[in-house]
Amino acid sequence: MPFYYYFDPTMLIVLPALLLALYAQFKVKSAYHAGDRVSTGYGMTGYDAARRILDQNGLYHVSIEEIPGELSDHYDPRANVIRLSAKVYHSNTASAVGVAAHEAGHAVQYAQNYAPIRLRAAIIPVCNVGSTLALPLFLVGLLLVIEPLMWFGILAYSLTALFQLITLPVEFNASRRAMTILSDSGRFTEEQLRASRKVLSAAALTYVAALATSLLSVLRLIVIVGGRRRD
């Protein structure tokens, strides 16, 4: 039986988002490695940058830990800890400082009750349940030809898109806070700031790609239901 017999044409709906995701990953790695070649002034490391931002905002209780991995950096609001990958923690490069400042920006968002990040945190449990049940519900509905079950699956999957949508302003705002603080410090040249900005802009593109993937995946499932009706 020829290969095209098994091909699902609805996958073409998601293809643009998948290509964007691949491009975003390429941009992140490219910008990160380019920024690694730009040293910061005063020998400031990623740890130093994050600590300075936290202290400037009175967040002395937020600690900074070193963790393994690459680009595994994140802020844990439950533990009040910024976790930086070893390279970011110790390096005095534009990439390290940009990434660390971004994570410190998230800590400041929580401290200042930035509405989108609070909303994102509130819906995480519901979104996790939805993402777990979405495809099983849809597939069972598809196999048993139970259309309401398919729509429940689509609705559950839509929660992922909602989460990604709320994530966008959170990530853009954290990067903007980071770059403003770094620029106002007067410790960095325009070249250093530009390199940090490129890293954060490339990282932001990955969130745009994630949202596009979620939205087009929902559209694909809707098209599948429509095709089933016509059959």
Catalytic residues: 103
In 3D space, the residue among 208, 151, 192 whose CA is nearest the CA of residue 17 turns out to be 208
């800890």: which residue's tokens? 81
Judging by DSSP bridges, how do beta strands 81-85 and 74-76 pair with one another? antiparallel
Distance CA 46, CA 33 (A): 15
Distance CA 98, CA 196 (A): 5
Alpha helices in 112-146 (DSSP H): 115-144
Cα angle for residues 207, 82, 23 (degrees, 5° grid)? 25
Residue 168 · residue 208 · CB < 8 Å: yes
Distance CA 137, CA 155 (A): 10
> What angle do helix axes 94-111 and 190-230 make, rounded to 10 degrees?
70
């139970």: which residue's tokens? 146
Residue 141 · residue 150 · CB < 8 Å: yes
The token pair that represents 187 in the structure block: 């410790």
